[in-house]
Chains A and B, each alone.
Chain A
Amino acid sequence: MADLKCSRLAKSYGNRAVLTDIDLDVPEGTLTAILGASGSGKTTLLRLVIGFIAADAGMISVGGTVVADAGRVQVPPDKRAIGYVAQEGALFPHLTVAGNVAFGLPRNERRGAARVAETLDLVGLPRDYAERRPHQLSGGEQRRVALARALAPRPRLVLLDEPFSGLDAALRAETREAVLNALAGEGTTAVLVTHDQSEALSMGREVAVLRDGRLVQTASPAVLYRDPVDLEVAHFVGDAVVLAGTVRSGDVECALGTLATRIAVADGDVRVMIRPEQIRFAPGADAEVLDHSYRGPDTIVHLALRNDERTPVELRTFDQEVPGRGELVGLTVVGPVTVYPA
């Protein structure tokens, strides 16, 4: 197992810069999720690290060994010992599950079934799956085999490219769990690429947000969610209510009252970011209920503030009884809020 370090990576196709100045450190034995919208350069970054393409500038090292240094070093993908789980799995259709899993093992180990059985256990598949063909497996099982195949040769690092895309919600959660367990079991350093914020937040020890080819923020999931670097990231990682406000002696005054800020800021006009679950019902008549979207465990309530009707406000509640449309409700905000320059 080894850590991954990328410094000042850049890649462009023709005049179009796909990645600019990427600095990324993935500590040994941890999983970092790279979160980005489609077209943000996620897959290009993965392909640079594996070595399918060469960077225009910058350096990549795994476990202290430089595997790519633009213009000087370019270790071919097969010599990097980096595991790769492609989108949709990409299992070899002409081989059995065992044949797939054993593919990357040295010739003398391929015959023995020991490592195959071990890795199948690791990803939570029954051992008798070994003789099945890829097309006999469900989508989730195919992803697990793809992971087992990547883990079998004991790579220094595993890269997962949208490994859960196309799976339904229940299967997704189950497969996610199996993947995390398998990675933890081997203590493998891993990088997961995804456009799904809940997947990134729940799986990564750290989450790196990629936007227009730049890493705009790399932080733990909690910091990223509560204290995003700008409003765009705030909206990207979750729902957000944004109000105009003014900071006076440390606290911020806005349509929802005077609130504590997470980080001390200088006095002046700001924009206030509040997560919908921070807003709670309270006695009073601050806002009118416009509508609700029922989502099962929780409900999103859309509100119009009486002192600022133009700004949409959402409240997330776990109450089963929710005030009806047109009712007037009081609001309060729990916990500190994040502010950005106006």
Chain B
Amino acid sequence: MLVAVLVLIPVVVTCIQALEGGVSAAVDALRASSSLGLLKNSLLVTVISVPICGLLGVTGAWFVERTRLPFRRLWAVLLVAPLTVPPFVTSYAWANLGNPFQGLYGAAGIIGFTYFPIVFLLVAVALRGLDPALEETAQSLGLGTTRIFFRVILPQLRPALLGGLLLVALDALVEFDAFVALRFRTFSSDIYAQYQLGFSASGAAALSFFSIVICIVLLFGEAWLRGNRNYTRVSQGARRATTRYPLGRTTLPVLAVLGALVAVGVGIPVVTLIKWFTTSTHAGLHTASANLHYLFPASLTSVGLGVAAALLALVCALPVAVLAVRYQGPVVTTLERSVYLAFALPDLVAGIALAYAASHYASFLYGSFFLLVFAEAILFLPFALVALRATLGQIERSLEDSARSLGAGPLAALWRVTVPLARPGFLAAAVLVFAFTLGDLSTAQVLLPLNLYTLGTEFQANSSSVAFAAAAPFAAVLIGLAMITAYVLMSRFGEVRALAES
């Protein structure tokens, strides 16, 4: 409950701010900013990028999890890597490709290729949880592989797929960092402009009021689409390991498609980065080397921030995830859903709202490092929640019951049984929050204490100059950290399966 209240702080503050100047002022702000056109842009990006993410994510997950793909482990890491590359780095890389990529298609493409790993991760977990007996039964009833996929597997993937698409849609609606280098204006970039023009908090808040409404609509839409069908396994007994389909002659084309996916998602930023280094002018290189002594402190701040935010997000997500898995009911569902609401705020607006709240009600927090950690933690809480739910859901309830009967209290049972078993989920959740915090730009810009700088803010500060080489070292460290993150995420992720099968 406390978690929900904390998460809702920025949402509530934003609503208050929006209505502070009266309803008419809010309406004026909307008119003045030609928001309707921008709203259309935001919605268009969402509508285009969500199906892309769905298609890429499900395809990737299917081939990695259910076929005899060579180097499966490696592909799993590579397919998650785009998510951990900071969106603003991707943004500059795509903008560099040329004019066609600076508009709507570029924007939708960035979202699609940056966020498809969310769908990939969730669907992969769901694929592992499927009972092979269902597919075998379908086969014995005369269905071929393709029809089995559409009539047996896809329906079972529905909750995971919808959950993933919801996250992508919410992200796409309020994305700002990813469009930072494009000539493409959305709702969020307008909010950003309002903010830069004169810290018009109420104007920005009025605009984000819209996005909160859209978010609520999406949350209901997803709940409605998901329905209250039960997808848990009904048959008893030990489950056999899933079979993998041989790819045969299709191996090479599949490898080519997956390779292309990775090339677009990770290759473009990396290649652009190398280009920046090699083609930069002498002056650019000079700035770059001059910047080098900022590199270490910036990395330290970024990593510290990421770790702190990840830990805080875990602490907040655990009770909600346990409740969501163990006690289903309207109250718990509302609680769980409310966590997504903060996600509906553009990062920047959430940052402003928190700064506002802190300066008014908790001035000792204003401008402190902790406030930023708190902001990042609640912004990326939905990811932590999703990862934790996936693993907690696989832990049989009878294990906790046994612990209770052996004299362990509820907290002891959680600590001694649930937490050790859910360790892969904890790690995955922490790594996701870490990666997103690392890749966050706008919240940090608002809430970062004046004497500190992160890799992101330094990248941004230097990329505004003509010489990209100056920004390149920061981007290089960010991408390096992203790759390590992706690797850790996927190597831990493998344990989820090992545990489920033992």
Give me the interface of A with B, judged by CB distance under 8 Å: 50-52, 76-84, 86-88, 90, 92-94, 103-104, 133-135, 146, 149-150, 153, 159, 166
Residue of B nearest to A47 (CB): B401
B406 close to A150 (CB less than 8 A):
yes
B417 close to A52 (CB less than 8 A):
no
* B502 CB contact (under 8 Å) in A83, A135, A166: A135
Residue of A nearest to B396 (CB): A90
Chain B residues with CB below 8 A from A92, complex form: 399, 402-403, 417, 421
Q: Looking at B401, B406, B416, B420, which has the most chain A CB atoms within 10 Å of its CB?
A: B406
B235 contacts A by Cβ under 8 Å: no
Chain A residues with CB below 8 A from B403, complex form: 92, 103
Pairs A–B under 8 Å by Cβ, sample size 27: A50-B401, A50-B404, A52-B404, A76-B410, A77-B404, A78-B407, A78-B408, A79-B407, A81-B407, A82-B405, A83-B406, A84-B401, A84-B402, A84-B405, A86-B401, A86-B402, A87-B398, A90-B396, A90-B401, A90-B402, A92-B399, A92-B402, A93-B499, A103-B406, A104-B406, A133-B502, A134-B502
B74 contacts A by Cβ under 8 Å: no
The CA-CA distance from A79 to B417 in the complex, in Å, is: 18
The CA-CA distance from A126 to B466 in the complex, in Å, is: 74
B409 contacts A by Cβ under 8 Å: yes
A77 close to B421 (CB less than 8 A):
no
Shortest beta-carbon distance, A132 to chain B, in Å?
13
B420 close to A94 (CB less than 8 A):
yes
A93 close to B405 (CB less than 8 A):
no
B406 close to A94 (CB less than 8 A):
no
B412 contacts A by Cβ under 8 Å: yes
A93 close to B406 (CB less than 8 A):
no
Chain B residues with CB below 8 A from A133, complex form: 502
Asked if A166 meets B237 with Cβ closer than 8 Å, knowing A78-B404, A84-B401, the reply is yes
Chain A residues with CB below 8 A from B420, complex form: 94
Shortest beta-carbon distance, B408 to chain A, in Å?
6
Residue of A nearest to B423 (CB): A94
* B405 CB contact (under 8 Å) in A94, A150, A166: A150
The CA-CA distance from A250 to B443 in the complex, in Å, is: 94
* B416 CB contact (under 8 Å) in A51, A83, A86, A103: A103
The CA-CA distance from A103 to B405 in the complex, in Å, is: 11
B409 close to A76 (CB less than 8 A):
yes
Other A-B pairs beyond A76-B409, A81-B407, 6, CB < 8 Å: A50-B401, A52-B401, A78-B404, A83-B406, A84-B406, A86-B398
The CA-CA distance from A88 to B238 in the complex, in Å, is: 10
A90 close to B407 (CB less than 8 A):
no
Give me the interface of B with A, judged by CB distance under 8 Å: 237, 396, 398-399, 401-410, 412-413, 416-417, 420-421, 499, 502
Q: Looking at B396, B402, B405, which has the most chain A CB atoms within 10 Å of its CB?
A: B405
The CA-CA distance from A78 to B412 in the complex, in Å, is: 10
The CA-CA distance from A24 to B404 in the complex, in Å, is: 24
Asked if A104 meets B408 with Cβ closer than 8 Å, knowing A93-B499, A94-B421, the reply is yes
Chain B residues with CB below 8 A from A88, complex form: 398
Shortest beta-carbon distance, A123 to chain B, in Å?
16
Shortest beta-carbon distance, A152 to chain B, in Å?
8
The CA-CA distance from A221 to B493 in the complex, in Å, is: 52
Chain A residues with CB below 8 A from B402, complex form: 84, 86, 90, 92, 146, 149
Q: How many A-B residue pairs have CB under 8 A?
A: 72
Shortest beta-carbon distance, B51 to chain A, in Å?
39
The CA-CA distance from A86 to B406 in the complex, in Å, is: 12
B407 close to A93 (CB less than 8 A):
no
Chain A residues with CB below 8 A from B399, complex form: 90, 92
The CA-CA distance from A115 to B461 in the complex, in Å, is: 65
Chain B residues with CB below 8 A from A83, complex form: 405-406
Residue of B nearest to A134 (CB): B502
The CA-CA distance from A191 to B408 in the complex, in Å, is: 21
The CA-CA distance from A51 to B404 in the complex, in Å, is: 9
The CA-CA distance from A51 to B410 in the complex, in Å, is: 13
Asked if A93 meets B408 with Cβ closer than 8 Å, knowing A52-B401, A84-B402, A86-B401, the reply is no
Shortest beta-carbon distance, A101 to chain B, in Å?
10
The CA-CA distance from A101 to B78 in the complex, in Å, is: 42
Chain A residues with CB below 8 A from B407, complex form: 78-79, 81, 104, 153
Q: Looking at B398, B401, B402, B409, which has the most chain A CB atoms within 10 Å of its CB?
A: B402
Residue of A nearest to B403 (CB): A103
Residue of A nearest to B412 (CB): A78
Shortest beta-carbon distance, A118 to chain B, in Å?
17
Shortest beta-carbon distance, A108 to chain B, in Å?
14
A149 close to B406 (CB less than 8 A):
yes
The CA-CA distance from A78 to B417 in the complex, in Å, is: 14
* Interface pairs A-B: 9 shortest CB-CB: A104-B406, A84-B405, A90-B398, A77-B404, A86-B398, A135-B502, A94-B420, A90-B402, A78-B409
The CA-CA distance from A162 to B398 in the complex, in Å, is: 13
A93 close to B404 (CB less than 8 A):
no
The CA-CA distance from A158 to B301 in the complex, in Å, is: 55
The CA-CA distance from A82 to B499 in the complex, in Å, is: 28
Chain B residues with CB below 8 A from A150, complex form: 405-406
The CA-CA distance from A83 to B406 in the complex, in Å, is: 6
Chain B residues with CB below 8 A from A86, complex form: 398, 401-402
Chain B residues with CB below 8 A from A76, complex form: 404, 409-410
Chain B residues with CB below 8 A from A149, complex form: 402, 406
The CA-CA distance from A86 to B416 in the complex, in Å, is: 18
The CA-CA distance from A90 to B406 in the complex, in Å, is: 13
Residue of B nearest to A87 (CB): B398
Chain A residues with CB below 8 A from B401, complex form: 50, 52, 77, 84, 86, 90
The CA-CA distance from A87 to B421 in the complex, in Å, is: 20
The CA-CA distance from A50 to B400 in the complex, in Å, is: 13
Residue of A nearest to B420 (CB): A94
Shortest beta-carbon distance, B297 to chain A, in Å?
40
A50 close to B398 (CB less than 8 A):
no
B237 close to A93 (CB less than 8 A):
no
Chain A residues with CB below 8 A from B413, complex form: 78
Chain A residues with CB below 8 A from B406, complex form: 78, 83-84, 103-104, 149-150, 153
The CA-CA distance from A83 to B502 in the complex, in Å, is: 25
Residue of A nearest to B404 (CB): A77
Chain A residues with CB below 8 A from B404, complex form: 50-52, 76-78
The CA-CA distance from A48 to B287 in the complex, in Å, is: 72
A93 close to B502 (CB less than 8 A):
yes
Shortest beta-carbon distance, A187 to chain B, in Å?
19
Shortest beta-carbon distance, B476 to chain A, in Å?
39
Chain A residues with CB below 8 A from B502, complex form: 93, 133-135
Shortest beta-carbon distance, A136 to chain B, in Å?
10
Shortest beta-carbon distance, A191 to chain B, in Å?
13
Residue of B nearest to A136 (CB): B502
The CA-CA distance from A93 to B422 in the complex, in Å, is: 11
Chain A residues with CB below 8 A from B408, complex form: 78, 103-104
Chain B residues with CB below 8 A from A90, complex form: 396, 398-399, 401-402
Chain B residues with CB below 8 A from A93, complex form: 421, 499, 502
The CA-CA distance from A153 to B407 in the complex, in Å, is: 9
